[in-house]
Amino acid sequence: MTEPGRVRRRVVVAGRVQGVWFRDSCRQQAIAAGVAGWVRNRPDGTVEAVFEGPPDAVAALVAWCRTGPPLARVTRVDEFEERPTGEEMFRIR
């Protein structure tokens, strides 16, 4: 069962996003914003993340992914809308 007013977005972030503390920085941002979900490195060199929570907070996390942490060089962010599943915490996979 999901709460009303929650949204879920999946993003795939391309560029120099692995080996630059992207996942841990993303986790810190999500926890501070009260957003649940997860983040992981993909074999193709991209980072994938799922954000679930209040619409404004999720939108802020998606926007953060467009720049990422200081050492990242983001070239593309693909965003996908999904149905909330009831994520309760944010973790690195």
List the catalytic residues: 23, 41
Contact yes or no for 4/65 (Cβ under 8 A): no
Coil, helix or strand at residue 26: helix
Distance from first CA to last CA of the chain, Å, rounded?
A: 23
The helix or strand, by DSSP H or E, that contains position 63, with its residue range, turns out to be helix 55-65
